Amino acid sequence: MVFPLGKTRSDCSGFDQLTRLAKSLELVSFDKVDIDMSGCTWFDANMAAPLGALLYRASHQLNNVRILGASHRLENILRKNEFLLNYGRLPLTDSNVTTIPYRRFEPTDGRYFISYISKYLQGRGMPKMSAGLHKKFLESVYEMFNNAVIHSGTTLGIYSCGQYYPNVHRLDFSIGDLGMGIRESLRRKKQLELAADEAIRWAFTGTNTTRTGLIPGGLGLKLLADFTTKNGGRIQIVSDRGYWELQGGSVRSSLFDLPFPGTVVNIELNTADTKSYRLSSESNLGDIF
């Protein structure tokens, strides 16, 4: 099969296109899968994470996956972030050092994941963030990794990729998995039947959590929402048919026609932010418990 991949930004239409790719690939095995990028005039580099997840699944179904027709400029971007190394290309040095390379992790790779983020955030071309912002960003992306580990039940891994855009002081970082998605997790663990966008909204509300085990949880997404709002950044979540976006304190959500087979979180960080990052309370160490 041939799938023509057009302009792919971190937005509703970019993800919508990936849901259509997911559907096309769903039942294909022992076949040729050609991703035709000849009509792709722009590809947000962080979107390599959800695209990589879908193509990994296609390879796992023993298809022969090829990426064809990308412009020289696009090839360079996707070689610099090492995405195309999975599809027969050679690496290209990221001389500007603005890339957090594409990687696939197993759920047990938590330490490796945090080392990877720490390492690439310190690159020469990476933003000079305040210590507080740097710490909050690391914590937030790890919370997202941990959410994928705990809630998705993925057996095919966790995918991440990031790109810094120095001219606009933005760092986009995406984490995707091929797990059950938030709607299904809610259905199984809380017996709640919600539409996919409503399920994402539920996960961000109050102390809601699908956690049912011996360890409490349910803070990761709320901390991320608090942080992103204060930072002036953006969160996008795609899970099943749901699209949910938080920016400037406002939420926008919608339903795709087709599901994404897992969950993707994209965090867009405002790197020019110099605020201090303390939660609203000021806890006294003698009065924690």
Per-residue interface string for the shown chain with other proteins, residues 180-199, x marking contact by CB under 8 A: --------xx----------
- Asked if residue 257 binds other proteins (CB under 8 A), the reply is no
Of positions 50, 157, 220, 233, contacts other proteins by CB under 8 A? 220
Pairing type for strands 158-165 and 99-105 reads antiparallel
Please report, for residues 62, 86, 158, 270, the alpha-carbon distance to residue 50 in angstroms, rounded to integers and kept in the order given: 19, 14, 9, 22
- Asked if residue 277 binds other proteins (CB under 8 A), the reply is yes
Alpha carbon distance 122, 255 (integer Å): 37
Alpha carbon distance 181, 29 (integer Å): 23
Q: Do 223 and 207 touch, CB atoms closer than 8 A?
A: no
Shortest distance (Å) from residue 188 CB to other proteins: 5
Shortest distance (Å) from residue 144 CB to other proteins: 10
DSSP state of 91: P
Report how far apart the first and last C-alpha atoms of the chain are (Å, whole number): 59
Per-residue interface string for the shown chain with other proteins, residues 88-127, x marking contact by CB under 8 A: ----------------------xx--xx--x---------
Indicate the residue among 257 and 282 with the shorter CB distance to other proteins. 282
Per-residue interface string for the shown chain with other proteins, residues 132-171, x marking contact by CB under 8 A: x--x--xx--xx--x--xx--x------------------
Shortest distance (Å) from residue 279 CB to other proteins: 4
Alpha carbon distance 237, 264 (integer Å): 6
Pairing type for strands 64-68 and 99-105 reads unpaired
Kindly list the residues in this chain that would bind other proteins in the complex (CB under 8 A): 110-111, 114-115, 118, 132, 135, 138-139, 142-143, 146, 149-150, 153, 188-189, 207, 209, 211-220, 223, 277-286, 288-289
